[in-house]
Amino acid sequence: MKTKETLLKILVNNKGRFISGEALSEKLKISRSAVWKHIARLREEGYTINAVSRRGYKMGAHQDVFNRYAIASQLNTTVLGRNLIFYDEIDSTNNELKRLAANGAAEGTVVVAETQSCGRGRRGRVWNSKPGLGIYMSVLLKPDISPEYVQVITLAASSAVCSAIMPFIDVKPGIKWPNDILIDNRKVCGILTEMTAEPEKVHSVIVGIGINVNHREDDFCEELKNTAASLRCFSKSDISRSMLAAKVLEELENLYLDFSSNKNADRLLNIWRSFSVTIGYDIIIYQGDKSIKAKTLDVADNGCLLVQTQDGRRQLISSGEISIRLT
């Protein structure tokens, strides 16, 4: 970890308490003058850092500085985000990570952007990516699995997001299979999983995650106001995007490495089930110009949705759009 990132991590971990220049100098193994220069650079990046003679430095409260250093300083991972690339603006974090993967980027590489000019959701939909409000990031994974199990990665991502956002909000989020995070039946997060593979082997999986974090109601266009929401709508205060992004990566790494090492998805699927707002409901499955009415029974070991159609047949759904019939 770079010196500036380490300094930022120390200040964040001691938020509300002063830490002396001498103590920082010893921890960082640099001179007190060098400490001051790093403090000055952090202030230039937007951090509020208070300095008091004979007491030292203290991180100010209520900040949402969102950049590479802010995220990296709060990461407790071994793989995900160790190579973290941040852009003020990019066409799409998934597109950029595809380019990096084609040039040999390592597993765990993460691309984060303040805003996207061409953010994408599933089925080619546009993902609204306003600056200063959301988290837009993509993660490169290289699992040793066959293509039929890629859906498990999507379920791991949605489970990780739900686990990560729980401490920040006042209500429990839900997952609509396979990848929509809902609160009060309004979408707060979408996940786009794209893979490169041969018939029997996956080469790489790119997991794109878009979270509406600090949007107010009037930040959504008219057509989205009834179907979209942000975490801020269900929280008493603004949420630190850098802290949340780091937490999502930690939760995802935990589930992904467990799945990869044990070749078993039981743990993450049980977490997914605990957040599911799909299992047990009557749904309509849309596949191209065809629609199927069914009841959801469970999620299978490979991440597919197990349903029972109106004629009593059971089948696994691996793709398609679903709507939940609430009445």
Rounded distance between C-alpha atoms, residue 89 and residue 77, angstroms: 25
CATH, residue 47: 1.10.10.10
Question: For residue 99, is pLDDT > 60?
Answer: yes
- 319 and 185 in one domain? no
pLDDT tens digits, one per residue of 253-288: 999 999 999 989 999 999 999 999 999 999 999 888
Question: For residue 123, is pLDDT > 60?
Answer: no
Q: Which pLDDT band, with edges at 50, 70 and 90, does 125 fall under?
A: low
- 175 and 113 in one domain? yes
- 136 and 32 in one domain? no
> Phi/psi class of residue 91: alpha, beta or left (left: φ > 0; alpha: ψ in -120 to 50)?
alpha
The residues, any chain, with a CB within 8 Å of residue 291's CB and separated by 6 or more, are: 284, 285
pTM above 0.75, yes or no: yes
Helix (H) or strand (E) holding 97: helix 93-102
Rounded distance between C-alpha atoms, residue 107 and residue 78, angstroms: 11
- 201 and 105 in one domain? yes
- 166 and 44 in one domain? no
> What residue type is assigned to position 125 of the chain?
R
Expressed as residue numbers, the domain containing 292 is: 282-325
* Number of structural domains the chain divides into: 3
pLDDT tens digits, one per residue of 195-233: 999 988 999 999 999 999 998 877 887 777 788 999 999
CATH, residue 137: 3.30.930.10
Q: Which of 19, 37, 59 is the last residue of a domain?
A: 59
- 54 and 143 in one domain? no
CATH, residue 319: 2.30.30.100
Rounded distance between C-alpha atoms, residue 3 and residue 8, angstroms: 9
Q: Output the CA angle 221-239-61, nearest 5 degrees.
A: 135
32-44 vs 21-28: helix axis angle to the nearest 10? 100
235 versus 129: the higher-pLDDT residue is: 235
Q: Are 64 and 84 in contact (CB under 8 A)?
A: no
150-165 vs 241-262: helix axis angle to the nearest 10? 140
- 90 and 224 in one domain? yes
Helix, strand, or coil here: 298?
strand
